[in-house]
């Protein structure tokens, strides 16, 4: 819940900037990195709902078909949650690779949904480039998110506990 | 609680993430696939989102416009200032060139008129440009750029396409001085073209002329053309000196007071023709 309240305004600011000032720039998919981070760290039902909300906001801001990104993010959340039982996404490389793979999955899901709805989409320029950029920026973004969560989390010292 | 119910609850609790995620994924897929077909199911949510998304995007775009405005109005003006300076220099250069070309065109017109006038005259002439004015009350003279080297001598007549300008009073090697008709010292034998009344035109020291020795009985009226009589020998007969503008009785009741406007606007004169013959008595 704490992460939800922390990440939601950041996501809104990011999506507002992405859909206005940086519409033509290949920015990393921050909502996807957030979902990846939450799913790999501590999965919960709130996390799944958060993934849905982020995807919904993504679609709403980008003017796309409502439901495509939320579907993709929820599926990714579930997949990463299940995968994290087998793989630890603690190293930089694992985070980068995982985020890139997740971005590819999201892009592919969105691509096929759009194709099913007879909407033109370009796989290579949209999906692959987005996945590469997201994979590249995923480790520093995840580190920043971790620091942000730590900032709002009260520390408990064993010496003070009595 | 029965055992079967407990089993169900434990199953749901164990797989709650998978169940919730699957439900949400299916719901999302449903929204995505029905949205295109314009089913109303996703419409309410979409409308709700639009109320929150649109203002945020509006704020961002407003900030963007403000930043662009500041950039365009202030920071970008650094380059504009330099460009403005360059354009100003170019403009001044073009204005100067335009003025020069206009001046050359006007000079061409004047010289063409002077040439035509020169070719029409039965006398040998020399064209000269006025290079200096002396418009004091006691002295109305101009300097021209031709002198004795070009065959100009004292008492040669200076004329323009409009009429008489004056006579040469001083000659140097490369320049001469012309006494204008409006000078107090100038006097020219003239006659009224219409009535052939004779008289002498003198300068009044300003921009006008006075025709003297016109008797009360002589027929003269405003608008009459005053031309040279050829009696002085300086000017050939028949050159226009001016036009009568005022005729009055004189205080002595013997001569009329006649004012004449010079035929040539001496203040705007830029070129003259100098007649290279000294005496026109024989005409």
Domain ranges within chain B, ordered by starting residue = 18-68, 76-120, 125-275
B200, B209 in Cβ contact below 8 A?
A: no
- Three-state DSSP class for residue A88: coil
For an interface test with B, the pick among A74, A77, A80, A119 (most B C-beta atoms closer than 10 Å) comes out as: A74
Instruction: Please compute the mean of the pLDDT values over residues A137-162 and round it to a whole number.
Output: 74
Q: Count structural domains, chain A.
A: 1
pLDDT tens figures, B221-247:
999 999 999 887 888 888 999 999 999
Least trusted range by pLDDT, from A111-120, B114-123, B228-237, B254-263: A111-120
Report the distance separating Cα B177 and Cα B161, nearest Å.
19
Average pLDDT over chain B, rounded to an integer: 82
The whole domain housing A46 covers 29-152
| B241 phi/psi in degrees, rounded to 5 | -100, -40
Nearest CA-CA distance, residue A158 and chain B, Å: 32
CB pairs under 8 A between A and B: 97
Give bridge partners of residue B249 from the DSSP assignment: B256
pLDDT at B1: 58
Across residues B39-43, what is the average pLDDT? 49
Q: Which residues make Cβ contacts (< 8 Å) with residue A80, sequence separation at least 6?
A: A35, A36, A39, A40, A89, A98, A102
Q: Is the pLDDT of residue A93 over 80?
A: yes
Residues B122, B280: Cα–Cα separation, whole Å: 12
Please write the tens of the pLDDT for every residue from A103-130: 888 888 777 777 776 666 666 666 788 7
CB A89 within 8 A of CB A95: yes
What would the mean pLDDT of B10-30 be, rounded to a whole number?
Answer: 84
Query: How many other C-beta atoms lie within 10 A of the C-beta of residue A14?
Result: 21
Q: Give the pLDDT confidence score for residue A26 in this predicted structure.
A: 77
Could you tell me the pLDDT band of residue A162, with boundaries at 50, 70 and 90? very low
Span B12-24, average pLDDT: 84
The interface predicted TM-score (ipTM) is 0.79
Q: Tell me the DSSP string of chain B.
A: --HHHHHHHHHHHHTHHHHHHHHHHHHHHHHHHHHTTT-TTTHHHHHHHHHHHHHHHHHHHHHHHHHHHHIIIIITHHHHHHHHHHHHHHHHHHHHHHHHHHHHHHHHHHHHHHHHHHHHSSS-EEEEEEEEEEE-SS-EEEEES--GGGT--TT-EEEETTEEEEEEEEE-SS-EEEEETTSTT-EEEEEETTT--EEEEEE-SSS-EEEEEEETTS---TTPEEEE-S-SSSS-TT-EEEEEEEEEE-TTSSEEEEEEEESS-GGG--EEEEE--S--TT-
In this predicted model, which residue has the larger pLDDT, B142 or B122?
A: B142
Give pLDDT tens digits for B132-165. 887 666 678 888 988 888 889 988 999 988 899 9
If one compares B52 and A46, the residue with the highest pLDDT of the two is: A46
Which candidate, B195, B80, B207, places its Cα nearest to that of B133? Answer: B207
Residue A158 lies in a domain: no
Between the CA of residue B90 and those of A120, B78, B79, what are the distances in Å?
52, 19, 17
Contact B28 A57 (CB under 8 A): no
In chain B, which residues have their Cβ closer than 8 Å to the Cβ of A61?
53, 57
Averaged over B92-110, what is the pLDDT?
88
Q: Look at residue B40 and tell me whether its pLDDT is greater than 80.
A: no
Distance CA A102, CA B47 (A): 29
Task: Kindly tell me if the per-residue pLDDT of A61 is higher than 70.
Answer: yes
pLDDT of residue B94 exceeding 60: yes
> Across the interface, do B22 and A113 touch by the CB < 8 Å criterion?
no
Distance of CA B183 to the CA centre of its chain: 32
pLDDT band at A94 (very low <50, low <70, confident <90, very high): confident
User: Which residues in chain A are contacts of B42 at CB distance < 8 A?
Assistant: 66-67
Distances (CA, A) of B186 to A65, A134, B138, B145, B168: 102, 101, 11, 21, 11
The whole-number pLDDT of residue B54 equals 64
B162-216 tens-digit pLDDT? 899 999 998 988 889 999 998 888 889 999 999 999 999 998 877 889 999 999 8
CATH topology classification for B125-275: Thrombin, subunit H (2.40.10)
- Among the partner-chain residues B22, B29, B53, the one whose CB lies closest to the CB of A67 is B29
């Amino acid at each position: 819940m704490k992460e939800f309240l922390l990440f939601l305004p950041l996501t809104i600011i990011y999506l507002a900037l992405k859909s206005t000032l940086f519409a033509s720039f290949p920015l990393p998919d921050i909502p996807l990195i957030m979902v990846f981070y939450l799913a790999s760290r501590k999965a919960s039902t709130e996390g799944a709902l958060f993934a849905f909300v982020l995807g919904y906001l993504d679609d709403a801001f980008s003017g796309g078909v409502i439901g495509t990104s939320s579907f993709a993010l929820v599926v990714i959340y579930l997949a990463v949650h299940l995968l994290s039982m087998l793989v630890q996404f603690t190293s930089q490389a694992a985070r980068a690779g995982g985020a890139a793979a997740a971005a590819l999955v999201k892009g592919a899901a969105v691509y096929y949904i759009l194709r099913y709805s007879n909407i033109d989409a370009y796989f290579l320029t949209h999906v692959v480039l987005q996945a590469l950029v997201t994979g590249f920026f995923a480790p520093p973004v995840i580190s920043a998110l971790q620091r942000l969560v730590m900032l709002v989390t009260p520390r408990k010292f064993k010496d003070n506990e009595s | 609680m029965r055992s079967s119910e407990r089993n169900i609850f434990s199953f749901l609790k164990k797989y709650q993430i998978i169940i919730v995620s699957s439900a949400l994924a299916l719901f999302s897929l449903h929204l995505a696939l029905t949205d295109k077909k314009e089913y109303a199911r996703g419409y309410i949510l979409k409308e709700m989102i639009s109320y929150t998304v649109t203002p945020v995007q509006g704020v961002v775009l407003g900030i963007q416009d403000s930043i662009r405005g500041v950039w365009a109005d202030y920071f970008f003006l650094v380059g504009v200032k330099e460009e403005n300076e360059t354009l100003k220099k170019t403009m001044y250069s073009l204005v100067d060139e335009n003025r020069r070309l206009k001046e050359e065109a006007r000079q061409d017109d004047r010289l063409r008129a002077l040439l035509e006038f020169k070719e029409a005259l039965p006398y040998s002439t020399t064209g000269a440009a006025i290079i200096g004015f002396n418009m004091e009350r006691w002295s109305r003279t101009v300097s021209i750029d031709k002198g004795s080297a070009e065959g100009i001598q004292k008492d040669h007549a200076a004329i323009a396409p409009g009429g008489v300008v004056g006579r040469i009073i001083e000659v140097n090697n490369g320049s001469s001085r012309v006494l204008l008709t409006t000078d107090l010292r100038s006097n020219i034998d003239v006659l009224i073209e219409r009535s052939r009344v004779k008289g002498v035109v003198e300068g009044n020291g300003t921009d006008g002329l006075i025709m003297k020795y016109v008797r009360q009985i002589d027929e003269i009226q405003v608008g009459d053309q005053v031309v040279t009589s050829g009696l002085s020998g300086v000017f050939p007969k028949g050159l226009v000196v001016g036009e009568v503008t005022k005729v009055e009785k004189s205080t002595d009741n013997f001569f009329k007071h006649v004012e004449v406007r010079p035929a040539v606007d001496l203040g705007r004169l830029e070129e003259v023709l100098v007649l290279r013959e000294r005496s026109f008595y024989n005409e």
